[in-house]
Structure 1
Amino acid sequence: METTVAGAPPTDLPTDVAALLPSPVPVQLLDAHGAAGRESHGDYAMPSDERLLEVWRRMVLGRRLDIQCTALTKQGRLAVYPSSRGQEACQVGAVLGITERDWMFPTYRESVALFTRGIDPVEALSLLRGDAHCGYDPTAHKTAPQCTPLSTQLVHAAGAAYGERRRGSDAVAMAFIGDGATSEGDFHEALNFAAVFRAPVIFFVQNNKYAISVPLAKQSKAPSLAYKGIGYGIRSEQVDGNDPAAVLAVVDAAVEHARAGHGPFLVEAHTYRLDAHTNADDATRYRQADEVTEWLAKDPIARLQAYLEGRGVVDQALVEETDAEGERLATDLRDRMNVDPVVDPATLFDHVYAEPTPQLREQRAMVLDELAAEGGDH
């Protein structure tokens, strides 16, 4: 497929089809060493230093909290934790590309995205701790509960975005998804619905190369996952997911596209999961150490820090100040997670239905009777 400019459509395709195609190579504004190759890539301009500084800061804080969360699993304070280490540019860039009035639909791996969204880390970890299905107020934060089943949240995102459009709102929905989940039926149903009804939703695929232990080569034969949007008539793009500047620039374009009424937008971010799938996974069984080492050299935090240091935006004093802030947040999280939660078994039956069914009331009464017979010791 011949192109003249990165991001430009092939000349032998109809204009309406060509406009849907992603760039032939992932959009990149910063190389692995933090050098800017040029100020734009196709239609993507370099974000301002001010915005990139906030991305860098949020990535540093998010990684420190992520590392603390992994430690909490070893201390028995979290039942399970899917680390985001290495994928910070995707999660932070995507979140900072939307506003407080926009909706976010996370998966179980989006803890850093939830922290960036301003959600209390202890509330964000309630699901993974086993305390509740969702520890934060979805309506207050415009953030749906973290979704463990693959792709089901995409249908919710498409419906919520369509609902906002029907209300006359210009709010959009940001829906996260992993590479393996693009093989699920709900992924295709969500894309089709969103395209037909022009729902303002951004499908953000974090292609971290593995669906647990299944490599991408055994998941899809598409040139890239970004091409999966074309069959549904969805504008699509692929981006270097370890380049924070490029992620933010592409998300900006996707949000502008959706907010302007042009329908959904599919983004594929090429990134890598540095840690195991979860603390219960042994990644050495399906990938080699040199592969991980190669991706360590593409660290999104180091890349953006090098760029900002070169522009005089970040210095050693700011690095130390931000690291210290991260340590304070990690200490606070550790201290609060070490306090045993007070759990009322009766809350198991809350929020199952808007109006409890007779069966649910019966089950609740049965549990309360059993607890009373045991002397009320929960």
Structure 2
Amino acid sequence: MFKYVLVALAANLCVTTQAYAKPQQTTLTPIIIADTVTKTMSLSPKINSLSAAPIPNDIRITRSGSAFIKVHFSYFSLPTGAYVTVSTPDGKESYSYDGQTHKTATFDRNKGENGLSQFSAMSVFGDTAIVTLVMPAGRVWESHHGIKIDNFNAGHSETYDDQSQSVPLIDVITPQSTCGVNERRDVACWQSTHSVEYERSRPVARLLMAGSGLCTGWRVSNDNRMFTNNHCLSTQGKLENTEIWFNYQRSNCGGSSNVATIKVTGRELLQTDYDLDYSLFTVNNFADITQFGNFGLEPRAPSLGETIYIAQHGAGNPKELAIESDQNSGGLCQIDTASANGRAAGSDAGYFCDTTGGSSGSPVIVRSSKQGHSFAPFWRL
């Protein structure tokens, strides 16, 4: 079985046929990793009867077992100086909103949202979010002020595990993404044995689109530039409704705890292409993610037999690396078909490296590159 990777941006299919005769017009959609829960709530100031000064007022939003909570505000208007925080119960993850900027908010322009008076807050990890209104003394709450919540996204629990999944090598043309035994592993599992590959996985991020869709993206160049697939992010509106999570990975191999994660939002869609299935974009708060480094691009077609590896957020999992392949005699992922038809003629190449839903947009990294270059993002069915 094969997977096809775009030469300029990559594709991921695992099928028995080595190449399609005609370009494939396959409909690709991101996988869904969260439920939208309808719940109507509102916040307004409480008054301290002794001092007549407003005191903090909060709402606890919980859905047992959720991986994250992402709150949607249907109406948001505050007096100058007042603000709302959305945080975890322990306060370790917290985001502040005052209605003046939307750099830490996502919003859907197709629904009339502007990121200021209607928007979604950044997701917070765990199954509980605390929404707190803070009104400094002397501020007046007028009739047009208000905070209304109409729903929230509850992330599916981090329990997906297909490490032992096996796909029989039968003569079918149904696209797959795992070839043989699944050999994706937490990046921490490779830290001591493949330190270079581990370090080069740092520029890879998880994308959370519209609070529930999942893809992978990565930094390209020293500037504020990121790559993913066109079928993940194809419009400015979709980008503005997207979170980008860096350093979302396990602290140890096979563990249950994660290292500190940095979340930013999409800013500007610079370029996108359907046939090559790529999108190039920028993010807000770029300084927060420069610490994770970047890839360059390998400006050539892949060569038959050259070794590769893929850093990814398949199935919404914390970051994983696919390095080894039980389908190749050398035991490592490699280019097995140098040219194949994808959305356009000759746009793809083929490999056996394991991926899964949510891996779309991941970099196919050239092992021989001393600078950590990639052929570009792949798409996944």
Bigger share in helix: 1
* TM-score, normalized by the shorter chain, greater than 0.5: no
TM-score (normalised: structure 1): 0.22
TM-score (normalised: structure 2): 0.21
Bigger share in strand: 2
